[in-house]
Amino acid sequence: FNRPWFSIVDQQHRNQVGTGTVTDTNPHATSGNDLTIGDLSILQLNLDHGMVIAKDRSIAKVPGYRCTSAITEVKTDDALGTLTGFASASYIELPYFPVRVGRVWLASTDITLAALHVQQTHRIVFPYEVPTAGEIINVYYTRAEVAEPPLPGNNTFVTNGPSTQELAIAGGLGLVSLTTTEETFADAYQIPMRYEMFMDGEGALLKTPQVVYCWKRLDDLGTSDSTIDITPYGPGRLIMALSGAGPGATLDIQVRVYGTDAAGATIDELFTFTQADWNDVPAIPALPSPSDDFLKFSDTVFATITNVTVEVRSDGPNSAIMIWMAQHAFSNYDKQADALHVATVDWNGYGFGNVYDKRVVAPTMRDEQNAAADSKLQALVYRLVAGGNFTVYVDDFRNPQYHSLETPDDLNETASHYPTYNFSKQQVGLHGYYRSIAFPVHANSGTTWRVSLFGAQNLVDAWFPNQPRLQMWTGGPTWSATAMTAVPGVPNTWEVTLASVPTRVQVLLYPGQCTGMAIYG
């Protein structure tokens, strides 16, 4: 007689799985997203906003992976410096939004050009020089693909999920994939508007303000319309646009919107347009402006709208309205709290006139916190150089902004038979070789230049003497490097007096061991 043996299976316990991956050592698929203290996730304990983690895949301490682009078209900004901040300056445009911009150089001569990244854009500006027409300009830059915005000129917002060693953090959760990566802007019509694009904790790409009542002529609306086109994803104040109402002293349009608040109570608000305070939508394409007076804003926060009623109408036959709900994180906590701010988009009626990359990108959450140190160092340097210095640049080596993005192999460094490197994942800040980008020099700068180092650790380690060199370009195919002399009585500061004001300067540190630097002259 063979007695049957059965084992008990705890099916309920076995089905309690988290958001991770089931493995032999993690049968319940528990991930960091499933861990909380109280009602706060682990990521919410470290961040009060969303961000992108992009590991430093090419250059230590620099988020993202290194790309190289060859640019052939040089453009010129207008007299106001609208696109670059520098009046009538030359600039180039990259095919992606860079996280950091490094060396910029002429392909034909290998000369490094003095250029700056126009922050939050895909533009690189040459503030005080004009590259030779027809030259190919090469650029080193790093890129993070997750939640990357599209370039201006598109009319559909398409972004990417995480690439290798990338993570989107939104709503206090780490997102290894996104639920939506496209927003068509089909409802935006031909009304200029600034939109904020963000990612919520479910990985959904959303925009605010959100169109809730699509463009409709008042003739088609009639006196009352309870057909609301789009369900709001959260509460917000209403924005109403009026277009096509013929000018005239008798213009008077009053539209009342009914809805509910967050508690479900019935609310309403009256929108009034008269000739005294209204101008029509400009001919498109046109960028949105804070002074656009075809828009009216509600004082009341709506959770839903249920009816649109025209109470007074004295106008022409082409009048039309459109309604948005402008959600805000403080009135729409579920969707926008701790959201990942992806981009700001200026819709010009046809497409994207401007796109600004709003992502916070760092190799770790800790490095995002260190990014604030750059402004502190900047303030310290301004105190140090109060007076006649016109050119000031500060770099924090825990989160470098001005690294040339060249590797020791690129630089062909042979100064030591020991391996050379610029930054190390085993060290805080610089522990080796550093070469900055070529900094543009203001015309009113002087001939005496100083470099100050922060967190310098050269007291006991003679292998890292922290003796910076200033490399300058005064014309011709080559740069010249000049040794700097320690300034008596000023710790970790070196200076050099040049024969004339340079047009471009670089900082060279080899070998060096410190956490930041400032150059001023």
* Residue 274 to residue 19: CA distance in whole angstroms: 55
Backbone CA torsion sign across 176, 332, 213, 341 = negative
pTM summary value: 0.90
User: Does 167 fall in a domain?
Assistant: yes
Q: Which of helix, strand or coil describes residue 234?
A: coil
User: Does 39 fall in a domain?
Assistant: no
Both 389 and 319 in a single domain?
Answer: no
Both 213 and 100 in a single domain?
Answer: no
pLDDT value of position 296: 96
Average pLDDT for the chain: 85
Contact in structure between 518 and 470 (CB atoms under 8 Å): no
Extended beta strands in 159-291, E state:
166-170, 173-175, 182-183, 193-199, 205-208, 210-217, 224-225, 236-243, 252-260, 266-274
In eight-state DSSP terms, residue 21 is: -
User: Does 56 fall in a domain?
Assistant: no
* Residue 372 to residue 151: CA distance in whole angstroms: 27
Task: Tell which of 329, 358, 387 closes a domain.
Answer: 358
Contact in structure between 106 and 419 (CB atoms under 8 Å): no
User: Does 316 fall in a domain?
Assistant: yes
In eight-state DSSP terms, residue 216 is: E
Number of domains composing the chain: 3
The 10s digit of each residue's pLDDT in 151-173 is 999 999 999 999 999 999 999 99
* Residue 513 to residue 227: CA distance in whole angstroms: 66
Both 384 and 354 in a single domain?
Answer: no
User: Does 3 fall in a domain?
Assistant: no
Element (H, E) at 336: helix 333-336
pLDDT value of position 53: 94
In eight-state DSSP terms, residue 82 is: T
Both 310 and 161 in a single domain?
Answer: yes
Both 299 and 232 in a single domain?
Answer: yes
pLDDT value of position 372: 47
* Residue 143 to residue 132: CA distance in whole angstroms: 27
Both 239 and 299 in a single domain?
Answer: yes
In whole angstroms, what separates CA 259 from the centre of its chain? 35
* CATH label of the domain that carries residue 431: 2.60.120
User: Does 96 fall in a domain?
Assistant: yes
Task: Tell which of 358, 380, 400 closes a domain.
Answer: 358
pLDDT value of position 421: 56
Both 380 and 498 in a single domain?
Answer: yes
Both 79 and 203 in a single domain?
Answer: no
List the one residue out of 264, 505, 246, 227 whose CA is nearest residue 392: 505
Task: Tell which of 319, 341, 358 closes a domain.
Answer: 358
User: Does 97 fall in a domain?
Assistant: yes
| Residues whose CB is less than 8 angstroms from the CB of residue 195 and which lie 6 or more positions away in sequence, other chains included | 188, 207, 208, 209, 344, 345, 347
* Residue 93 main-chain phi, psi, to 5 deg: -125, 135
Both 282 and 377 in a single domain?
Answer: no
Torsion angle defined by CA atoms of residues 184, 187, 188 and 190, in that order, rounded to the nearest 10 degrees:
120
CB atoms within 10 A of CB 20: 15
pLDDT value of position 416: 46
Which residue ranges of the chain lie beneath pLDDT 50?
372-373, 375, 415-419
User: Does 327 fall in a domain?
Assistant: yes
Q: Give me the residues paired with residue 76 across strands.
A: 90
Q: Which domain holds residue 80?
A: 69-127
Both 450 and 484 in a single domain?
Answer: yes
Both 350 and 375 in a single domain?
Answer: no
Exposure string over 237-250, b if 16+ CB within 10 A, otherwise e = bbbbbbbbbeeeee
* CATH label of the domain that carries residue 173: 2.60.120.1300
pLDDT value of position 417: 41
Bond before 209 cis per omega within 30 degrees: yes
* Residue 229 to residue 428: CA distance in whole angstroms: 54
Both 477 and 350 in a single domain?
Answer: no
Contact in structure between 472 and 482 (CB atoms under 8 Å): yes
